[in-house]
Amino acid sequence: MPPSLSAKFGIDDRLVFKAHASGLMHGVIHTPLCQGSFFLLGGHVASFQPVGEEPLLFLSKHSNFQLGTPIRGGIPICFPWFGPHPSEPTAAAHGWARTALWEMLSTTAEDDGTITVKLGLENDEWQLQSTLRFGRTLELSIAVVNAASMPRECELALHTYFDLADVHTARVVGLEAQPHLDKLSGKTLPPSGQAIRFTQETDRIYSGSVQEIYVVDGQRDRTVVIRPSNSRSTVVWNPWIEKSQRMPDFGDDEYRHMCCVETANVADQRLSIPAGGRSRTGLTLSLTSP
């Protein structure tokens, strides 16, 4: 009988591995700094909640938890393509990384109380390594190595679902100076000069790198700060009413309690990695001090 994941990677009662109600294995973190969880399925961060705060990440009450299908919420890892496959109509949306079983590589308890977790995935001569750091802040970074003998392109999106008390009093600040592609109309629009508010289905790819993006949850009087690293695209999405009703793994009214702001390199800003080359994209999530 191989040693259990907890025996190999557990850290006393701060990080334990156990079967989720669905039967899937997940790591559960509980420290004086935060609570959190991640699944081997998709290398998927499913929850993050600093002590004394409301959850930062949204997780649908209707999400599937089964091999081969993505978890609805948390931070899905979209790779090596974003959206529909460019040429294979039957291929799964958003690539194969978020529905693959990732391998545990290591876990570490840092001196400051942060728990660091590394997971890996290899497929199609792509080598991925995810580093998760659960502390007062959440850090996630994905290192991508192109192990093929020729340069290749790929898309990567950390498809983060943010929990909101009410989308009607929320706004996204920090992208006012960026042009964006409106995926619903197909139009590319110039910088708006104002914060993003949600009043209808919203599906936009903002181009350009920014230092910080703020997800302002007006009703909670809370702001989550996103600090992207090596990200030249930001996707902003809310399915709104009709699309929510068409999503079997998403409640009809759950659009009111989430928005996605995705740290990405997609479309015109996709990654181009030489043979044997590597690229790293990541994010840090924190709350503004009161």
Q: By CB under 6 A, name the binding residues for ligand TA6.
A: 70, 83, 93-94, 159, 203, 235, 237, 260, 262
Strand order in the sheet with 15-19: 15-19, 25-30, 34-39, 44-50
- Closest to ligand TA6 by CB, 77 vs 121, is 77
What's the token pair of residue 179?
A: 């042009």
- Closest to ligand TA6 by CB, 197 vs 220, is 197
Q: Give me the least distance between CB of 193 and ligand TA6, in Å please.
A: 23
User: How far is the C-alpha of 14 from the C-alpha of 22, rounded, in Å?
Assistant: 22
Q: Give me the least distance between CB of 7 and ligand TA6, in Å please.
A: 34
Residue carrying structure tokens 């930062």: 56
Asked if the peptide bond before residue 2 counts as cis, ω within 30 degrees of 0, the response is no
Q: Give me the least distance between CB of 224 and ligand TA6, in Å please.
A: 18
- The helix/strand count (H/E) of the chain reads as 2, 23
Helix intervals (H) in 142-205: none
Q: Give me the least distance between CB of 62 and ligand TA6, in Å please.
A: 12
Burial per residue of 214-247, b for 16 or more beta-carbon CB atoms within 10 angstroms, e otherwise: bbbbbebebbbebbbebbbbbbbbbbbeeebeee
Q: Give me the least distance between CB of 159 and ligand TA6, in Å please.
A: 6
3-state secondary structure of 218: helix
User: How far is the C-alpha of 11 from the C-alpha of 108, rounded, in Å?
Assistant: 8
Asked if the peptide bond before residue 86 counts as cis, ω within 30 degrees of 0, the response is no
Q: Give me the least distance between CB of 94 and ligand TA6, in Å please.
A: 5
User: How far is the C-alpha of 43 from the C-alpha of 74, rounded, in Å?
Assistant: 11
Q: Give me the least distance between CB of 73 and ligand TA6, in Å please.
A: 10
- Closest to ligand TA6 by CB, 5 vs 41, is 41
